[in-house]
Amino acid sequence: MKVAYGEWKPDVGGPNSGVATTADGVLPQASATGLGYGPAAALVTATGAEALSGEPKGMISALKADGSYAVIAATETTIEMMDSSYQWSDIETGRTGVGELDTSFAQFGKYVLNTNTVDGFKAYDVDAGGANSAVSGAPAARQVFVTNNLVVACGISTNNRRMQSSAIGDHTNWTTQGADGVTFPDGGALIGGRDMKSGAAVLFQENAIRLMQFSGAGATLYTITKVADGRGAVSDRAIVAFDGMCFFVATDGIYKLTLGGGLEPIGAEKVNRWLAGQVSASDYSKIVAAVDPFQKVVWFQLPNIGKLLGYDWQLNVFFTATVSSTYLSRIATPGISIDSVSDAIDDVDLAIDSRLWSGGGLLFGALDSAYKFATFSGAALEATLQTCDTALPQSAMVNWCTPDSDASGSLVYLGVSDNRHTAMTWKSAATKATSGRVGLRGRGKMFALKEVIPAGSDWTFANGMDDIEFSAGGLR
């Protein structure tokens, strides 16, 4: 008998479902059975990294004219920039900030624009440095983004349902040369917006989603149409866009939005009920979304539980990773170039052929639990994979199995139960023999198998359990 791990869908109940009960510390990958799993890298804090001075309230990696990146982050009272030795210096202090209020960042040319409704709309020259200066006439807004050479401010302080757009190519002009604005009559407060390429952007409200389409001609620069009613995003930090795709968390789960495919409830009947059991409704707004384009994965940092929820958009599957972090982002190591590799090589736990050294491109990274710069560059995380519960026609003794994985040191656990309404009783861990087989001993009409691959193990695939052998028992 064989049991594949299958796709992780915790919202699916019942035995013989064909879906994994647990898929943690792994990345999904294709296999001969259709879906398997490989190792996920641990989060590693850069050696000597200094902690951001407070809880992160926004972050950006801004490209400078010389091709290097400036990593800039906000706390409730500061805006700070990280140098090449992972030390933070103040750009601005004494900011007001209020509780859960984030600072939104967007790069527009050489300027890092930043705004919240209390401290106002400001700009920092990422090349020249200097002060983080207020932009005269710009609206104090909840969120800012750039699309089609316009700056768009969402949820301004005087009316949280209003968006305003700047003049074309000018973040300092909010009144002439194409500058415009709209106050929406319904849908609740504006949460944020994202560029969707192809001459379009998307605007999120509390209870509506609107498409912003650019004509490029005539008196009307863009039109706005509602594409979802009664559904919006829980927060700006829970929205991430990449290459024409937008992923976000709503009050009822996780969605994907594309121009061609519309709104897709990717979490429905997969992880939405599980997510509601992990994160309280009041904490949904604290979920942070970020994209790892190399792995083709969107990650959602779940507050207060030390867990990341991953979604592979090519395979359309979810999984988890037990990682403690405080902010996720596509982040760059600032100031790293081929000339400075010898000085920096000891600062991050990376192989010499790592993508970190290949031109300073953005990587998927994080601030760790202590607010320090970190990358997902370590050895393999501890991986846990568990099969679905399997119902047998009669009670049987489970004697053997062969994990379909190349992890030589994995531990295998057998769970058994006498019926479908009693929780599994888990037996002690068993190890692989030289042949790869694992000796087991447990009787029941229901069984499940769990494989735990220790952290730091060298492995490439784990697909399920093969050659499960039984000794027949009697009817019960």
As a whole-number percent, the residues of the chain with pLDDT over 70 amount to 92
Q: What is the pLDDT of residue 101?
A: 82
What's the average model confidence in pLDDT over 82-108?
92
Q: What is the pLDDT of residue 219?
A: 55
pLDDT in tens, 257-288: 999 999 999 999 999 999 999 999 999 999 99
Q: What is the pLDDT of residue 77?
A: 95
Q: How far is the C-alpha of 446 from the C-alpha of 16, rounded, in Å? A: 10
Q: What is the pLDDT of residue 257?
A: 98
99-134 as b/e, with b when 16 or more CB fall inside 10 Å?
Answer: eebbbbbbbbbebbbbbbbebbbbbbebeeeeebee
**Which pLDDT band, with edges at 50, 70 and 90, does 334 fall under?**
low
Strands (E), 140-238: 141-147, 150-156, 159-165, 180-183, 190-195, 200-205, 208-214, 222-229
**Hey, where are the domains in the chain?**
3-40+382-472
Which two structure tokens, joined as six digits, stand for 365? 């990274």
Residue 338 has pLDDT above 50, yes or no: no
Q: How far is the C-alpha of 44 from the C-alpha of 356, rounded, in Å? A: 13
Residue 360 has pLDDT above 60, yes or no: no
Residue 353 has pLDDT above 60, yes or no: no
Task: Say which amino acid occupies 142.
Answer: R
Residue 289 has pLDDT above 70, yes or no: yes
Q: For strands 159-165 and 180-183, give the pairing.
A: antiparallel
**Which pLDDT band, with edges at 50, 70 and 90, does 341 fall under?**
very low
What's the average model confidence in pLDDT over 128-135?
97
CA angle 80, 164, 132 (to 5 degrees): 20
Instruction: Say whether 83 sits in a helix, a strand or coil.
Output: coil
The CATH classification number of 3-40+382-472 equals 2.60.120
Lowest-confidence segment of 114-128, 144-158, 207-221 by average pLDDT: 207-221
Task: Please classify residue 198 by burial: count the beta carbons closer than 10 Å to its beta carbon, then call 0-12 exposed, 13-18 middle and 19+ buried.
Answer: exposed
360-369 as b/e, with b when 16 or more CB fall inside 10 Å?
Answer: bebbbbbbbe
pLDDT in tens, 42-63: 999 999 999 999 999 999 999 9
Residue 225 has pLDDT above 50, yes or no: yes
Residue 435 has pLDDT above 60, yes or no: yes
